[in-house]
């Protein structure tokens, strides 16, 4: 159904029917319930803290022995936060946290090339997001620290990290 048809349909039915349909959607679909819960009670700090805990658990697990070190976990949170409309400075914080925790993890582990390439992609995405949302002044120190750490630890794709910094210049 197109947006135009939906608008026409909604204008033709009465308010009570719309309320019933919204309540039905709220009960049937967890995404709708989560959206309305966020809209009416946006506990953004709590969501960010839960995300950071799960991201750090990927690299430094509490319940299992071996770390998984999956970038996809952080990416899902970031994508979800953007979709919900979480404040951009909090999304940027999670993006940089993911890179920082990965750098701490990398110090003690021998990792495949794919890890470094995915972290370079995360770094590029974070810089793009920060630049688009005008948050450079707020996160410049952390960005520089992440970059210098990649250079000091001699990460692969170091030139890719350098090129990513061109985004903010």
Q: At what angle do helices 71-84 and 30-40 cross, to 10 degrees?
A: 60
Q: Is residue 88 within 8 Å of residue 133, measured between CB atoms?
A: yes
pLDDT tens digit sequence for 99-133:
999 999 998 888 888 899 999 999 999 999 999 99
The 3 state secondary structure assigned to the chain is CCHHHHHHHHHHCCHHHHHHHHHHHHHHCHHHHHHHHHHHCCCHHHHHHHHHHHHHHHHCCCCCCCCCCCHHHHHHHHHHHHHHCCCHHHHHHHHHHHHHHHHHHHCCCCCCHHHHHHHHHHHHHHHHHHHHCCCHHHHHHHHHHHHHHHHHCCCCCHHHHHHHHHHHC
Question: Residue 24: which residues within 8 A CB-CB, separation 6 or more?
Answer: none
Mean pLDDT value of segment 11-35: 90
Determine the pLDDT at residue 39: 85
What percent of the chain stands above pLDDT 70? 99
d(CA 54, CA 76): 11
Predicted TM-score (pTM) of the model is 0.84
Q: How confident is the model at residue 156 (pLDDT cuts 50, 70, 90)?
A: confident
Q: Where are the domains of the chain?
A: 1-41, 43-168
């Amino acid at each position: 159904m197109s947006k135009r048809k939906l608008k026409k349909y909604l204008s033709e039915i009465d308010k009570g029917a719309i309320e019933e349909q919204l309540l039905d959607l709220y009960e049937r679909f967890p995404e709708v319930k989560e959206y309305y819960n966020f809209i009416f009670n946006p506990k953004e700090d709590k969501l960010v803290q839960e995300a950071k805990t799960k991201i750090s658990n990927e690299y430094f697990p509490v319940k299992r022995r071996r770390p998984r070190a999956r970038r996809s976990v952080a990416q899902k949170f970031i994508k979800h936060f953007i979709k919900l409309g979480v404040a951009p400075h909090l999304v940027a914080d999670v993006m940089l946290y993911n890179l920082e925790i990965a750098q701490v993890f990398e110090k003690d582990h021998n990792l495949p090339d794919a890890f470094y390439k995915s972290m370079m992609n995360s770094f590029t995405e974070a810089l793009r997001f920060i630049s688009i949302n005008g948050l450079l002044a707020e996160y410049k120190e952390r960005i520089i620290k992440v970059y210098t750490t990649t250079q000091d630890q001699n990460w692969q794709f170091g030139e890719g990290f350098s090129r990513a910094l061109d985004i903010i210049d």
